[in-house]
Amino acid sequence: MHRSECYNAIVDAFEKKYSWLGKAFAEEFLLTVASWNIQAFSEPEFRIRRHLLLFFEHGWGKSTLLKKASAILGDELCTIMSDVTLAALRGTVEHGQFITPYTLKRPFSICTEFGQIVGGSNTEIVQKLLNVLEEGVVTVSLAKIATLRQCDIDEIMEKHGIKFIDSNTFTYKTNWVLIAGTYNKKFLVDNAFESRFVILMPQGKLDSSLTRHINNSDPFVISEDVVDTLRKEVLSNKPVDCMVRLPDAVYNYPLTLRDSAQLLSTILCKKWWGIKSSNDEIIDAAREIKKRHDDVWKSSDDKVFDALEAGYNTMDDLINKTGLSKRAIYYSLKSLRARKVFKEGKAVWEII
């Protein structure tokens, strides 16, 4: 089975069960999977790894989608955790045995509640996780490791590529990829984490029609051949050509170097799956990167203001354009001191 056939089969399965939301998740998940292989075997000079964060409200299947992804990857490629702890990043020693960090256990980890960062100093764990997600380099101070025998230390160094700075301080490099879900932007820590992730936000309405589709559709099924192909290809040493030049038109958008690296990652990961990106698709992807940044940090007031600045809107218009609830929109209208008037027999809102 070709990679492109595997890709299409997985996307189709998610779309059949979870509609447009499942399709969007599957596409980003598969690009994330490809990014690990490219980073591991192609050795590009820029960052290819993609960490995926599902960012939408409670009750809309984030955990379900993540668990399906975990099952597809399987135990040999993926660990799953309910939260991120300091021990998950630095490891620990129990009963004379070194327990490796999650970041060295498997290529991928799936975290169902990224907001639950617990254990140790919050600043310490946040900084370590930021380092892992970006450079993949971690320095750990772990007093318990000094209690191990030298032969155990030698085995740890050989098996995990860990380098010791002194008796209880070591450093390691990892190609680990994190796939997670959260519902609250405060967990993105003032833009620090937001810049490390590809953030998946719903591009359609999370409403009863989506619920009806998911409830009434057939059970989620992916053939064993497809799953086996994905697992085999993830570990295959078949590097892709990483020389890519972006079309000049993408520079019409205010893209940072980090943004352009994410864009190049998207192109290369699609290429890994056998999917060619046209210039128009690349430009659309650049526009989407900028839109994602804006959507994450825009408040309700920002979204309502943007809609009203373009002209007057009915309440239904505002709901459709902002994706906010009627209650949230009313609060924002009051905050913005918007005015309710009647035009062509309809009640509309406009900025005073």
CATH number at residue 339: 1.10.10.10
Residue 189 and residue 76 share a domain: yes
- What pLDDT was estimated at residue 136? 85
Residue 215 and residue 272 share a domain: yes
- What pLDDT was estimated at residue 310? 78
- What pLDDT was estimated at residue 109? 93
Structure tokens at 325: 């609830």
Residue 205 and residue 113 share a domain: yes
| pTM score above 0.85 | no
The continuous run of DSSP H or E covering 338 comes out as strand 338-343
Per-residue pLDDT of the chain (352 residues; tens, 9 = 90+): 899 999 999 999 999 999 999 999 999 999 999 999 998 888 766 678 899 999 887 788 899 999 999 999 999 999 988 777 777 787 888 777 888 888 888 999 998 877 656 444 466 777 788 888 888 888 877 777 877 888 878 888 888 788 888 877 888 888 899 998 887 666 665 556 767 888 888 888 888 999 999 999 999 999 999 999 999 999 999 878 778 888 888 888 777 888 888 888 899 999 999 998 888 888 888 888 777 766 666 777 888 888 888 788 999 888 888 777 788 888 888 888 888 888 888 888 988 7
Q: Which of 296, 321, 341 is the last residue of a domain?
A: 296
Query: How many structural domains compose the chain?
Result: 3
**Cα distances (angstroms) measured from residue 89 to each of 1, 35, 130, 282:** 36, 21, 11, 35
Residue 100 and residue 73 share a domain: yes
Could you give the CA distance from residue 39 to residue 282 in angstroms, rounded to a whole number? 21
Helix (H, G, I), strand (E, B) or coil at 259: helix
Residue 279 and residue 203 share a domain: yes
Residue 201 and residue 61 share a domain: yes
Per-residue H/E/C for 180-207: EEECCHHHHCCCCCCCCEEEECCCCCCC
Phi-psi region of 348 (alpha: psi -120 to 50; beta: other; left: phi over 0): beta
Residue 200 and residue 72 share a domain: yes
Residue 95 and residue 15 share a domain: yes
- What pLDDT was estimated at residue 116? 58
- What pLDDT was estimated at residue 253? 76
Q: Which of 254, 281, 296 is the last residue of a domain?
A: 296
269 is in which domain, residue-wise? Answer: 3-129+176-296
Residue 277 and residue 206 share a domain: yes
Q: Are 223 and 9 in contact (CB under 8 A)?
A: yes
Residue 165 and residue 180 share a domain: no
Q: Which of 256, 278, 296 is the last residue of a domain?
A: 296
Residue 242 and residue 162 share a domain: no
